[in-house]
Chain A
């Protein structure tokens, strides 16, 4: 296609700069600017406080430990399900990915009910050993790591399974014909070939746990990571210090991104041919089959326990469950309250419309970016792509602070408006956080499209809009659906940006869960959690179906 001189590309770039780069830049400026002008005072304060260094260090080691734990669980599971056949493999293969349908805060909630000091497991242990008190408290680094390992091993599991599926069976056969045993094949052939998958999963896990907020917020207690530190500093009214903290967390995230990307040097010698995936080996001995099957079912139960717990607790009437091992009474009253009571129903409606709006906008922007950057290869394209990916590398807390900073001032000449405290700030925040998710999916979709399809449309006399509607969008459907489902689920369960930007009128479900929990209204909190879980699962399921149909 000839290169059209369109202003659309520059317009989109301007919007993205305004939404993404500008607020971040303002944070940087505010970190070194006080009422009296430029100053390094806040930076000095930050540097001189051991608590700040401690929080930064805690963020770092928790993230590294999360990567290690998630890999330890996820990689063996991926091998188990990809390489062995045993009864129940198919069902379990789906169950293993289930932690993904729990929004972070809901996962934390489930862990609290399950493993907390007044949770089911603690009750059971107390009853068994006739103890007065639970022998542990679910808090601090251990609790955070437990939640992280549970929710993030899925990345390793999915990435490594995909990596294994793309390996050609002939690779294994070649290794065997060269006399390499299982162990040597694994260490010298399979793991090196899986390196891109492992590096991708490690990067995703690291960034997610560096940005993790829900688990440290609920379980942290005195243990502070940088995300919770920022929020508490801001609640204390020390905005300038919060800016410096935000900058430090951003730098840590970008440094990690840079390091991990660099270690994952492009290694194109991988498997390029579309090979035949290796056959699963059937476990032959009956004892072995039994052992594997038992192990997998126990595992499935452990993985499903948080979901079941949440479901059970959601039927507990207010104030009835105190010291018993299992709740003494059950009711659907919590759900009725959720739907009937306008005050209780409001957060659901809020989350629904805000997440939907943000998702729609993110998809629209991503499609525009695809047309500009991939289809028409305009000059603004590379910058647009970088900006779309940027929010992925920056923790949600940072963006919350950045948006709160940029849009709490009215200065039309500086393109700043008061949006904080209005209906629009949360959808906007969700949009910014959704952009990397939808952008990645949609741009990849555009890259897979054969450009001659669009040219065929043009040579058949179809104008730009008709081609977009009749050819491009239908063909992009799998990518659009994938991007939109993931974005919607993320926004619908969002806690980390919401807690800093919500107002009473726009309070989302996650905040209502938090306040129910504070009021010891565990049944209602769990009921909200179940709704979040079910909506997420339903959206994923519908997404998978529509993708398959497309």
Chain B
């Protein structure tokens, strides 16, 4: 990455005894879209508010193009923000809402009108200037909020759970519209979400937060294929975790005993393999394969079956008592069948070892 455009440097924000954001450092290139992903209480919204300037950090800095804006009031920061509930001004019409930020820049008259029109055209709402906010659908309100935030040409765009207020049918389409819009304007964007699909679809990179700390940042593919922590592994994509024991390190990775069988687990990215001893094994559903009951394999009983299209997800209870989720050919097994669980043909992919104490 060339010199980063937006930098979060060791940002920390405490509320009383809880630390909402804990030494968070991130850097974005110009035009990059970063998703802050995490469960509720992970500090992602506080991080966004620190960026916007609505919260002041207890420590750390925010830099834009090398300029320290940590002490700059939100008014002067020139960051556009789209709020979770949009925060459109209900007493102003669509045009007045969009004009609001332009007027702050002293833009008046014909230029104001043309810039409002341009911003509305950008979100495909040309001619909506005189509509009242209450006359708009949820999706239209969201686009007005985007137009209003983008009209003053901010340096950075911040989005707080941009899709959470839309009904599911509308979400996917709106997601596509937002992605196109951001790419067209080329604006550096940070958005907050607790939905993995949203983060993967919109974000060039995704930062996973947990209790205020950054767990991992990377492309969606990297997060899925190389989770840095068991938390990221569990939070991103489907998986089950079972206790395991590392019994040796070989050329193909770690030799791991799960219940009565032994599997080879290759290293995850550049992370070193754990030392022999107790460990936790994170298993993606596609990492294993079900076959009819055979000797010297991990035996189990099908408990649940969920048809997903190309495959079915089987819930298999092992003889050791663990419940694993495994993909298999739809209809190949029925609930109650005795089956064998074997590593799939892409041997070792989708298996990740973590220290036993890591939650």
Q: Kindly state whether residue B105 has any CB partner on chain A within 8 Å.
A: yes
Known: A453-B89, A455-B52, A475-B90. Is A461-B81 also a contact (CB below 8 A)?
A: no
Known: A1-B54, A475-B90. Is A459-B74 also a contact (CB below 8 A)?
A: yes
Known: A450-B87, A452-B83, A475-B90. Is A460-B52 also a contact (CB below 8 A)?
A: no
Q: How far is the CA of A499 from the CA of B84 in the complex (A)?
A: 55
Q: Contact check, A461 vs B52: say whether CB atoms are below 8 A apart.
A: no
Q: Contact check, A458 vs B75: say whether CB atoms are below 8 A apart.
A: yes
Q: Kindly state whether residue B9 has any CB partner on chain A within 8 Å.
A: no
Contact residues in B for A137 (Cβ distance below 8 Å): none
- Number of residues of chain A lying within 8 A (CB) of chain B: 21
Contact residues in A for B74 (Cβ distance below 8 Å): 455, 458-459
CB of B214, distance to nearest CB on chain A (Å): 23
Q: Kindly state whether residue A285 has any CB partner on chain B within 8 Å.
A: no
CB of A198, distance to nearest CB on chain B (Å): 34
Q: Contact check, B83 vs A455: say whether CB atoms are below 8 A apart.
A: yes
Q: Kindly state whether residue A379 has any CB partner on chain B within 8 Å.
A: no
Instruction: Tell me the nearest residue of chain B to A550, going by C-beta.
Output: B91
Contact residues in B for A455 (Cβ distance below 8 Å): 52, 54, 74, 81, 83, 87
Q: How far is the CA of A461 from the CA of B55 in the complex (A)?
A: 16
Q: Binding site of A, secondary structure by majority: helix, strand, loop or mixed? A: helix
Q: Kindly state whether residue B38 has any CB partner on chain A within 8 Å.
A: no
Q: Contact check, A459 vs B89: say whether CB atoms are below 8 A apart.
A: no
Of A2, A453, A461, A470, the contact of B105 (CB 8 Å cutoff) = A461
Q: How far is the CA of A89 from the CA of B78 in the complex (A)?
A: 56
CB of A3, distance to nearest CB on chain B (Å): 9
Q: Contact check, A459 vs B105: say whether CB atoms are below 8 A apart.
A: no
Known: A2-B54, A2-B55, A452-B85. Is A461-B76 also a contact (CB below 8 A)?
A: yes
Q: B77, B81, B88 — which one has the most chain A CB atoms within 10 A of its CB?
A: B81
Q: How far is the CA of A2 from the CA of B104 in the complex (A)?
A: 21
Contact residues in B for A461 (Cβ distance below 8 Å): 75-76, 78, 101, 104-105, 152
Q: How far is the CA of A304 from the CA of B74 in the complex (A)?
A: 57
Q: How far is the CA of A475 from the CA of B88 in the complex (A)?
A: 12
Contact residues in B for A459 (Cβ distance below 8 Å): 52-53, 74-75, 77, 79-81, 101, 149, 158
Q: Kindly state whether residue B148 has any CB partner on chain A within 8 Å.
A: yes
Of A2, A463, A471, the contact of B75 (CB 8 Å cutoff) = A463
Q: Kindly state whether residue A457 has any CB partner on chain B within 8 Å.
A: yes
Residues from 82 to 106 in B contacting A, C-beta threshold 8 Å: 83-85, 87-91, 100-101, 103-105
Q: Kindly state whether residue B56 has any CB partner on chain A within 8 Å.
A: yes
Q: Kindly state whether residue A456 has any CB partner on chain B within 8 Å.
A: yes
CB of B88, distance to nearest CB on chain A (Å): 8
Q: How far is the CA of A522 from the CA of B85 in the complex (A)?
A: 60
Contact residues in B for A1 (Cβ distance below 8 Å): 54
Contact residues in A for B83 (Cβ distance below 8 Å): 452, 455-456
Q: Kindly state whether residue B275 has any CB partner on chain A within 8 Å.
A: no
Q: How far is the CA of A466 from the CA of B105 in the complex (A)?
A: 13
Q: How far is the CA of A49 from the CA of B77 in the complex (A)?
A: 71
Instruction: Tell me the nearest residue of chain B to A459, going by C-beta.
Output: B81
Of B84, B85, B101, the contact of A460 (CB 8 Å cutoff) = B101
Q: Kindly state whether residue B222 has any CB partner on chain A within 8 Å.
A: no
Q: Kindly state whether residue A474 has any CB partner on chain B within 8 Å.
A: yes
Q: Kindly state whether residue A338 has any CB partner on chain B within 8 Å.
A: no
Q: How far is the CA of A396 from the CA of B81 in the complex (A)?
A: 49
- Number of residues of chain B lying within 8 A (CB) of chain A: 31
Contact residues in B for A80 (Cβ distance below 8 Å): none
Q: How far is the CA of A457 from the CA of B103 in the complex (A)?
A: 11
Contact residues in A for B84 (Cβ distance below 8 Å): 452
Q: B75, B76, B90, B148 — which one has the most chain A CB atoms within 10 A of its CB?
A: B75
Q: Contact check, A460 vs B87: say whether CB atoms are below 8 A apart.
A: no
Q: Kindly state whether residue A190 has any CB partner on chain B within 8 Å.
A: no
Q: Kindly state whether residue B136 has any CB partner on chain A within 8 Å.
A: no
Q: How far is the CA of A240 from the CA of B350 in the complex (A)?
A: 89
Contact residues in B for A550 (Cβ distance below 8 Å): 91
Q: How far is the CA of A550 from the CA of B73 in the complex (A)?
A: 31
Contact residues in B for A460 (Cβ distance below 8 Å): 80, 100-101, 104, 148-149, 152
Q: How far is the CA of A458 from the CA of B77 in the complex (A)?
A: 9
Contact residues in B for A475 (Cβ distance below 8 Å): 89-91
Q: B85, B103, B104 — which one has the most chain A CB atoms within 10 A of its CB?
A: B104
Q: Contact check, B104 vs A466: say whether CB atoms are below 8 A apart.
A: yes
Q: Kindly state whether residue A364 has any CB partner on chain B within 8 Å.
A: no
Q: Contact check, A452 vs B100: say whether CB atoms are below 8 A apart.
A: no
Q: B73, B87, B90, B105 — which one has the most chain A CB atoms within 10 A of its CB?
A: B87
Residues from 449 to 506 in A contacting B, C-beta threshold 8 Å: 450, 452-453, 455-463, 466, 470-471, 474-475, 477
Q: Contact check, B75 vs A456: say whether CB atoms are below 8 A apart.
A: no
Residues from 1 to 36 in A contacting B, C-beta threshold 8 Å: 1-2
Instruction: Tell me the nearest residue of chain A to B77, going by C-beta.
Output: A459
Contact residues in B for A470 (Cβ distance below 8 Å): 89, 100
Contact residues in A for B91 (Cβ distance below 8 Å): 474-475, 477, 550
Instruction: Tell me the nearest residue of chain A to B96, going by C-beta.
Output: A470
CB of B8, distance to nearest CB on chain A (Å): 17
Q: A471, A477, A550 — which one has the most chain B CB atoms within 10 A of its CB?
A: A471
Q: How far is the CA of A44 from the CA of B154 in the complex (A)?
A: 74
Contact residues in B for A458 (Cβ distance below 8 Å): 53-54, 73-75
Contact residues in A for B55 (Cβ distance below 8 Å): 2
Q: A450, A458, A459 — which one has the most chain B CB atoms within 10 A of its CB?
A: A459
Contact residues in A for B85 (Cβ distance below 8 Å): 450, 452
Contact residues in A for B56 (Cβ distance below 8 Å): 2
Shortest beta-carbon contacts, A-B, top 8: A461-B104, A460-B101, A456-B87, A452-B87, A458-B74, A2-B56, A459-B81, A452-B83
16 contacts between A and B (CB under 8 A): A450-B87, A453-B87, A456-B88, A457-B89, A458-B53, A459-B75, A459-B101, A460-B100, A460-B101, A460-B148, A460-B149, A461-B76, A461-B105, A462-B100, A462-B103, A475-B91
Extra A-B contacts (10), CB below 8 Å, given A460-B101, A460-B104, A463-B75: A2-B54, A450-B85, A452-B85, A453-B87, A459-B53, A463-B104, A475-B89, A475-B90, A475-B91, A477-B91
